[in-house]
A and B are shown apart, each in its own frame.
Chain A
């Protein structure tokens, strides 16, 4: 081993104070863009931006919901809250508050 990982990875996240949702919302054009939660059942759209706290946005993007991906609303959970989406053949569950930070177009 040539590398001491302890020395190179710190668990704090310096410089991650950026709030992506601001830029996402600034670019939002009310004509064509909506929140992910506003999709009707089975409606498809294109992801435009992913907002929310940095770590959360990063995780959502890692799951495949990244700008440019096609997303389809599949269903709402029986108790109303988490929503299920189909992202190019892969099923994801997102809480409403998380989906509300995602801007889609089309």
Chain B
């Protein structure tokens, strides 16, 4: 992503506004050329897209505001859009309008007109409107609104030049709505008291009951006016909204020479995807596809990164450095960077899938299909996808909660997700069940998955009881099926991945380094290290769980870095095995290069496996030789079960914790970690009491 300087004073400031699903994101991308900056709005996780481009010798910066149906905001994103529009004076507002849906889109346009900003209308999705047999007369729209109207097809980058040129001619709309007499006279009294350029919109909003905090004489007058209107039987909200709808409808009808026909593709696809019996099975197959796409396509790349890390570690070990320094560089530094990078392929493929699902219209359908199920937990239908993803990896699952609108719903899902047994935990499960429960291995692992699911669901349910339900309800649009452009999906996915790495990388590095210090200081035998001391302390706390061996208790600490590390640490502490075998320079390079080839090849090979039938067998445990024998004598079967339950439920990993912090702030991340520890301890305590 190219980084741009902050706009200078003389630059033109543009903002893009429009209903969701009107192709606004695509349009901003089409305008941007190659310089696009994607980040978050300060203090939120709402995505902020900004781009600068030259216009007739000047530089223009365009900020994409979150999609809104109205300036009377009902979601956090709409609120952000409204606040931005009230706070600044843009040189032009790009109002992106869906040509086949003028009636609803013009409602927002009429509100913009009342704000008084210069507006240019992008009549987008014109190809779709034509395909639906809709004849439009843009010149009439231009005349009625009094602003330039430009026909565009954002996916084919048509009309972009005209749009930018027209933005220079943008002017405040001349259209003016006449409200019923009672409202107009109230506005006339209120308006002079409001010292804001958008005084007309503000006066109307205040009368309609919007949370507009006005200064003193005006605020008092609003209350008086409301009482007066109520006494005359006037409901300002209904009358104001009603007048706007009527005007929008009337303008839309004058612009359309015919009524739009049905969206053929959408009708045809929905007949199958939302079918009373086939809908759910097809949806589940689709979910499996997304799941596999995310995890099977990223897997070869995670392996390759691991290989690179090994080779680098080997090279460093071969350098003429004091043992401790080399070890720190290899295990602490390279290991830490490797841990951070290991998340990137998974996140990238997930974000690719999510961007596609969102822009194509499939995400909204999935919410429609499973809404009833999720409602039982007091959650919206959109909660389903993050919950399912949790079984692959908790980190992207938490990022995926972004597709939900209400903060409290998102938080509840995000606090439930870490209990979903991710694939990293599976490695520990298979090793322990193969040692302690060889006959019932599958049953025990299945039971653990179920336990995780149950605890997660109960968590979401209990939190739902504590927080009030989202007041805006769950009504939403099912946008027509559309084919997103590769460019937009790719850019969005890479930007989202980068935001994660930036926000989370530091903390992961620090925790990997801290674990290195524990394991390696003071130098010498591991049984003399800080780690052994901490672990011995832990056995005191874990005694009631029938976990008495310090090496087992200790492995839970590095398990916080990543669950895969549990087994590695057990290997080191039981067998003193040194996993790094240094490779020669050439050999290592060759290893990296062939690994790259293999990863590319494996990604290609993953295509057919997308469609295969899921296998139900457990993967064989991956562990150093001799570890099984050493472990089998170090803990009882009850203790082993308690250990598994604890590993299932306690703080999954630093990545998950940091993802929580990135989305919800430090406080919620800490609280969630503590909560998981308490739940894990309590349930492991119970598990240790099961007579085996």
Contact = CB atoms under 8 A, between A and B. Distances in A.
A98 to B, nearest CB: 5
A43 B275 CA distance: 19
Interface stretch (B210-218, B562-570, B600-608): B210-218
Interface in B186-221: 196-197, 202, 209-214
B43 interface: no
Contact of B478 (A8, A88, A89, A93): A93
A9 B212 contact: yes
Contact of A68 (B82, B245, B477): B245
A5 B86 contact: yes
Contact of B226 (A15, A66, A80): A15
Nearest to B210: A13
Contact of A11 (B107, B211, B235): B211
Nearest to B260: A89
Interface in A26-75: 52-56, 58-69, 75
Interface stretch (B170-178, B369-377, B438-446, B667-675): B369-377
Contacts of B245: 61, 66-69
Nearest to A13: B211
Interface size class of A (residues with CB under 8 A): 35 or more
B107 A95 contact: no
Given A56-B471, A89-B100, A82 B211 contact: no
Given A60-B473, A64-B104, A93-B475, A78 B277 contact: yes
A69 to B, nearest CB: 8
Contact of A55 (B89, B213, B472, B476): B472
A77 B478 CA distance: 13
Nearest to B368: A93
A105 interface: no
A11 B279 CA distance: 40
B382 to A, nearest CB: 11
B213 A94 contact: no
Contacts of A9: 79, 82-83, 86, 211-213
A66 B264 CA distance: 25
Contacts of A2: 89, 197
A79 B252 CA distance: 36
Contacts of A84: 274, 368, 478
Contacts of A68: 242, 245-246, 249
A80 B372 contact: yes
Contacts of B100: 89
Contacts, number: 177
Given A82-B372, A91-B478, A55 B266 contact: no
Given A8-B213, A12-B211, A93-B478, A77 B249 contact: no
A55 B86 CA distance: 21
Contacts of A75: 270, 274
Q: Which of A7, A10, A18, A89 has the most CB of B within 10 A?
A: A89
Given A18-B237, A20-B238, A89-B260, A1 B473 contact: no
A92 interface: yes
B582 to A, nearest CB: 58
Interface in B338-389: 364, 367-373, 375, 381
Given A5-B87, A63-B477, A84-B478, A89 B101 contact: yes
B492 interface: no
Nearest to A24: B238
A70 B478 CA distance: 17
A58 to B, nearest CB: 6
A79 B74 contact: no
Nearest to A76: B276
B69 interface: yes
Contacts of B270: 75
B476 A92 contact: yes
B583 interface: no
B211 A91 contact: no
Contacts of B87: 1, 3-5
Interface string B61-98: 00000000110101100010011001111000000000
Nearest to A80: B372
A47 to B, nearest CB: 10
Nearest to A95: B474
Q: Which secondary structure dominates chain A's binding surface?
A: loop
A98 B471 CA distance: 11
A8 B103 CA distance: 30
B618 interface: no
Contacts of A3: 86-87, 196-197
Contacts of B69: 59, 62-63
Contacts of A59: 69, 74-75, 472-473, 475
B213 A77 contact: no
Interface in B619-634: none
B241 interface: yes
Contact of B369 (A20, A23, A77, A90): A77
A93 B372 CA distance: 12
A56 B476 CA distance: 11
B279 A78 contact: yes
Nearest to B101: A90
A10 B213 contact: yes
Contacts of A90: 101, 104, 477
A12 B209 CA distance: 11
B280 interface: yes
B235 A18 contact: yes
B262 interface: yes
Nearest to A77: B368
B371 A93 contact: yes
Interface string B467-489: 00001111111111000000000
B478 A95 contact: no
Contacts of B381: 82
Contacts of B83: 5, 9
Given A79-B372, A81-B372, A84-B368, A63 B476 contact: yes
Contacts of B107: 62
A3 B194 CA distance: 12
A60 B471 CA distance: 12
Contact of B371 (A12, A65, A81): A81
B473 A56 contact: yes
Nearest to A60: B475
7 contacts: A7-B213, A58-B70, A59-B475, A62-B107, A81-B372, A89-B132, A92-B477
Given A1-B89, A81-B372, 11 more contacts: A16-B209, A56-B471, A61-B245, A62-B70, A63-B476, A67-B245, A77-B371, A79-B280, A80-B372, A88-B101, A90-B101
Which 8 A/B pairs are nearest by Cβ-Cβ distance?
A79-B372, A62-B69, A56-B473, A81-B372, A64-B104, A91-B478, A62-B70, A59-B74
Interface of B: 69-70, 72, 74-75, 79, 82-83, 86-89, 100-101, 103-104, 107, 132, 196-197, 202, 209-214, 223, 226, 235, 237-238, 241-242, 245-246, 249, 259-260, 262-263, 266, 270, 274-277, 279-280, 364, 367-373, 375, 381, 471-480
